[in-house]
Amino acid sequence: MMEAFEQPAESPEAVRPLGRAIVITSGKGGVGKTTTTANVGTALAARGAKVVLVDADVGLRNLDIVLGLESRVKFHLLDVLEEKATLDEALIRDKRSESLYLLAAAQTREKEDVDTGLMKALVETLRARFDYVLIDCPAGIEMGFKNAVAGAQHAIIVCTPEVSAVRDADRVVGLLPNDWRPELIVNRLRPLLVKKGKMLSVDDVNGILRLPLLGVIADEPNVIVATNRGEPLALDALSETGAAYRAIAAKIAGEDVPAPEVRPASTGIFSKLGSLFGKRG
Amino acid sequence: MIDFFNKFFRPLPPSGATAKERLRLVLLSDHLSLAPDVVESLKRDLLAVISRYVEIDPAHADVTFERRDHDVAMLASIPITGVRRPGYDESPEPTPPPAPRPVRYDASSASAPASGGVAVATKAQAPSAPVSMELPMAAEPAPAPPVAVVPSGSDETPPKSAATSAAHRRRRRRRKANAAAKRNAQAQDDPPMNASAQA
Amino acid sequence: MSGRRIVVTSGKGGVGKTTTTVNVGAALAKRGHRVVLVDTDIGLRNLDLVLGVEKRIVFDIVEVIEGRCQLRQALIKDKRFESLSMLPAAQTREKEAVTEEQMKAVIVELAESADFVLIDCPAGIEHGFRSAVAGASEAIVVTTPEVSAIRDADRVVGKLHALRMPMRVIVNRVRPDMVRSGEMMSVDDVCDILSAELLGIVPDDEEVIDTTNRGEPIVLDDSKRLATIYDKIARRLGGELVPFSNLDEPGFFGRLKTLWKVG
């Protein structure tokens, strides 16, 4: 059963240290998991790392379209798991980054079709070939989530400064293995609204979640434009969002990056959050 | 400010139109893969149409859809086993004239030719070269594009004049006779000891 | 005659299903209809939060189905809209705790004493989606003018077609300035791609975040632009032919212009 996953005969692969497998998750849908996966992956590859992005959103795949690779998908994750295609046949090289690859999700299958054990084995195989395995997790906490988490050793939680998102992120953190130390990216911050007291601040969000902060990304209409084109902003030297993702990639790679700027916290209307969640120990 | 720089250094067409076009193609591709029954019907109808012109091997026919950068294409690979011609119900390949064979009557060896010296006519087999067709797909249902079929095998054209028609009728009679002889010969288990030679 | 059972779905998460459910429901209730909102996102409930009733939850839909309480005990009556109530989802259970038939039974029962039952569907197209749809006789598909959202909505539209379920589309978070500059697909583009009938156009509005944070449906405040829009949607649902807002009105555009100031 493992034959399809075996590495090609280039022996240098066998002695490289295992790459890191990181799942990008959130609970709530639409907060920017896929955009984050695409951009962080692109930024890591731009630094020379070998990166594979795995779309675990079976049935509703979107990582391919965010990367502009939708026309190149021939085989997908389930094809590999079910040995209808080899990993090499399914891996799609990015248009722009030489060391960035995509393993697309199946579009016409269901999340329940993925065998957790096989998924774990696949991630292990990918770790042997890549420096980073980034797994784009679907919304929710059901089978799709469980399979995306299987095989990963680390998680990035993406959360927007909205009560529903924070609540869902909190739930997800509780479902991850106890020994994991997930890190937080706060996405779609609107500093002006935070100042007016109409939006949660980063402190408000992390006051509940209490996670190491990996990055803060301001809301930017260019994200929509970038997805329209299939060109991640991490490649755009002039984009603030791109810069934020590049900083996140640097931090993941172990660089000493200054702490993301945290806007002054707002108070008052968000005291109810405390009662909603209680403080997690 | 950032937008200004972006537009200045990278004047690109508005992304909304790009997005719409990409979506159109990706959804076309999604819809095709989500409708296996439609694809099956398409394949059946396609093979039925093609087999009006050529003989095919439906068991090894394959119809797939391929997503390319600017369109979705249908790829059909259909093995062709023969070419049909209007008005003929047998292989159009004429049988070669029977080769003259020395007849040997040897009581000790039973090696007389089974069919009495007549060359056995076999149905000409065109090599099973698959035919590949590429048909780009439009988003809206379009009238069926013309099918370009490249038959493998010989290049004969149907007869046009009365004289040649008569020649073809003679050839057809001979072919029928040969085929009948072949069937007779194959029905016998042993070659006849007293096969009479035909001049 | 029992009420209409409408599922609010999208495929993609985060496009505004819950916000739509709450505000359309509230707008209908404001017009005097008896409305019940049902949260079917078991495990990740949020309807209670957006409606602002999270502190008053005693029982949830799973407990109703498991017979541990009566349906009326689990229903929470809204204090601001007389004829509005909601049935919360369970937070610590999984969607598989409820079958499609069980979900349908609850919704049909609710429809016996309501004019509208709005079913807030979870993201995705798995079991949770199927259960939510099982109880419905018509659908509202919510999408935004973005590639991923439309692709997922298309998948949902396909599934609803297969079920022969009547459906209409709400295009949410439209940014008229971006549509005008060509950097965002238009509402026409969206409906074209989905081949679906339009129910409403809701522009992107910073007020939504604020009202969601407070748990106060935006339709509470008649002066808000979105309150009018949700009211129009409610009227269209009732069968009225209401023209769509002209998103190029100067006031509109002017207000939205301030959204993207660097802060």
C91-138 residue pLDDT tens = 988 888 999 999 999 999 999 999 999 999 999 999 999 999 999 999
pLDDT value at C257 more than 70:
no
pLDDT band at C142 (very low <50, low <70, confident <90, very high): very high
Chain A contact for B38, CB < 8 A? no
Range C168-180 burial, b when 16+ CB lie within 10 A, else e? bbbbbbbbbbbbe
Beta-carbon contacts of residue C152 (< 8 Å; ≥ 6 apart): A60, A62, C10, C11, C12, C143
Helix (H, G, I), strand (E, B) or coil at A119: helix
Note which residues in 27-46 of chain B have CB less than 8 A from chain C. Answer: 27, 30-31, 34
Which residues of chain C neighbour B25 with C-beta distances below 8 Å?
A: none
Report the residue from C15, C178, C263 with minimal CB separation from A30.
C15
What sign has the CA pseudo-torsion A235, A240, A243, A245? negative
- Nearest-Cα distance to chain B for C183, in Å, is 5
Q: What's the rounded mean pLDDT across residues C135-151?
A: 97
CB atoms within 10 A of CB C94: 16
Range in B113-122, C136-145, C166-175 the model is least confident about:
B113-122
Does residue A167 form part of some domain? yes
Q: How far is the C-alpha of C218 from the C-alpha of C210, rounded, in Å?
A: 9
Range in A88-92, A99-103, B25-29, B112-116 the model is least confident about:
B112-116
- Nearest-Cα distance to chain C for B37, in Å, is 14
Q: ipTM of this predicted complex?
A: 0.89
pLDDT confidence of residue C172: 97
pLDDT confidence of residue B163: 53
Determine the structural domain holding residue C154 and report its residue range: 4-260
Contact call for B16 and C185, based on CB within 8 A: yes
- Is the separation of the CB atoms in A133 and A126 below 8 Å? yes
pLDDT confidence of residue C245: 73
Q: What's the rounded mean pLDDT across residues C169-181?
A: 95
pLDDT band at C261 (very low <50, low <70, confident <90, very high): very low
pLDDT confidence of residue C23: 98
Q: How far is the C-alpha of A136 from the C-alpha of B101, rounded, in Å?
A: 77
Which residue does chain A place closest to B64, by CA atoms? Answer: A74
Contact call for B9 and A70, based on CB within 8 A: no
Runs of H (alpha helix) within chain C: 17-30, 47-51, 61-65, 71-74, 100-111, 127-134, 147-162, 176-180, 187-194, 206-214, 225-237, 250-257
pLDDT value at C259 more than 50:
no
Residue type, C113: S
pLDDT confidence of residue A16: 75
Bridge-based pairing of strands A183-189 and A213-218 is parallel
Note which residues in 125-164 of chain A have CB less than 8 A from chain C. Answer: 138-144, 162-164
Does residue A64 form part of some domain? yes
Contact call for A229 and B34, based on CB within 8 A: no
For residue B66, what are the β-bridge partners?
Answer: B73
- Nearest-Cα distance to chain C for A16, in Å, is 36
Contact call for B16 and C186, based on CB within 8 A: yes
pLDDT band at B179 (very low <50, low <70, confident <90, very high): low
- Nearest-Cα distance to chain B for C176, in Å, is 12
Q: What's the rounded mean pLDDT across residues C243-247?
A: 77
Note which residues in 89-118 of chain A have CB less than 8 A from chain B. Answer: 107-108
pLDDT confidence of residue B1: 63
Q: What's the rounded mean pLDDT across residues A161-178?
A: 95
Range in A210-224, B11-25, C72-86 the model is least confident about:
B11-25
Report the residue from B13, B20, B26 with minimal CB separation from C151.
B26
- Is the separation of the CB atoms in B47 and C215 below 8 Å? no
Q: What is the CATH number of the domain that holds C22?
A: 3.40.50.300
> pLDDT by residue (tens digit) across B48-64?
999 999 999 999 998 88
Tell the residue number behind the tokens 């260019």, with chain if given: A222
Does residue A12 form part of some domain? no
- Is the separation of the CB atoms in C31 and C234 below 8 Å? yes
What is the number of alpha carbons within 13 Å of residue B130 lying toward its C-beta?
Answer: 12
- Is the separation of the CB atoms in C262 and A263 below 8 Å? no
Chain centroid, CA C156 distance in Å: 15
pLDDT band at B117 (very low <50, low <70, confident <90, very high): very low
pLDDT band at C178 (very low <50, low <70, confident <90, very high): very high
Q: What's the rounded mean pLDDT across residues C234-259?
A: 68
List Cα–Cα distances, C110 to A189, B101, C215, in angstroms: 39, 95, 24
pLDDT confidence of residue A66: 97
Q: Compute the mean pLDDT over every residue in chain A, rounded to the nearest whole number.
A: 89
Report the first-to-last Cα separation within chain A, whole angstroms.
43
Chain A contact for B24, CB < 8 A? no
The percent of residues above 70 in pLDDT, for chain A, comes to 86
- Nearest-Cα distance to chain A for C252, in Å, is 18
Which residues of chain A neighbour C206 with C-beta distances below 8 Å?
A: 190, 193, 198
Range in A30-34, B192-196, C148-152 the model is least confident about:
B192-196
Q: How far is the C-alpha of C65 from the C-alpha of C106, rounded, in Å?
A: 7
> pLDDT by residue (tens digit) across C192-206?
999 999 999 999 999
pLDDT confidence of residue A258: 78
- Is the separation of the CB atoms in C55 and C102 below 8 Å? no
pLDDT confidence of residue A268: 39
Q: What's the rounded mean pLDDT across residues A188-208?
A: 94
Which residue does chain C place closest to B30, by CA atoms? Answer: C155
Range in A92-101, B52-61, B163-172, C194-203 the model is least confident about:
B163-172
Residue A94 burial by Cβ neighbours in a 10 Å radius (0-12, 13-18, 19+): buried
- Nearest-Cα distance to chain B for C184, in Å, is 5
pLDDT band at A187 (very low <50, low <70, confident <90, very high): very high
pLDDT confidence of residue A42: 98
- Is the separation of the CB atoms in C152 and C25 below 8 Å? no
Determine the structural domain holding residue A101 and report its residue range: 17-254+263-277
Number of domain units in chain C: 1
- Nearest-Cα distance to chain C for A15, in Å, is 39
Which residue does chain B place closest to A228, by CA atoms? Answer: B19
- Is the separation of the CB atoms in C43 and C90 below 8 Å? yes
Chains that touch A (3 or more CB pairs under 8 A): B, C
pLDDT value at B11 more than 80:
no
Contact call for B16 and C189, based on CB within 8 A: yes
Q: What's the rounded mean pLDDT across residues A219-236?
A: 95
Range A10-37 burial, b when 16+ CB lie within 10 A, else e? eeeeeeeeebbbbbbbbbbbbbbbbbbb
Chain B contact for C162, CB < 8 A? no
Chain C contact for A271, CB < 8 A? no
Which residue does chain C place closest to A273, by CA atoms? Answer: C213
pLDDT value at A153 more than 60:
yes
Chain C contact for B141, CB < 8 A? no
pLDDT value at C258 more than 50:
no
Number of domain units in chain A: 1
Q: Compute the mean pLDDT over every residue in chain C, rounded to the nearest whole number.
A: 92
Report the residue from B16, B24, B34 with minimal CB separation from C193.
B24
| A to C CB pairs, distance under 8 Å | 132
- Is the separation of the CB atoms in A142 and C126 below 8 Å? yes
Q: How far is the C-alpha of B36 from the C-alpha of A258, rounded, in Å?
A: 53
Backbone dihedral angles phi then psi of residue C22, each to the nearest 5 degrees: -65, -45
Q: What's the rounded mean pLDDT across residues A123-128?
A: 96
Which residues of chain A neighbour C95 with C-beta distances below 8 Å?
A: 142
The model carries a pTM of: 0.78
pLDDT confidence of residue A5: 54
pLDDT value at B110 more than 70:
no
pLDDT band at B146 (very low <50, low <70, confident <90, very high): very low
pLDDT confidence of residue B87: 60
Tell the residue number behind the tokens 């003929």, with chain if given: B88
pLDDT confidence of residue C260: 37
Contact call for A227 and B69, based on CB within 8 A: no
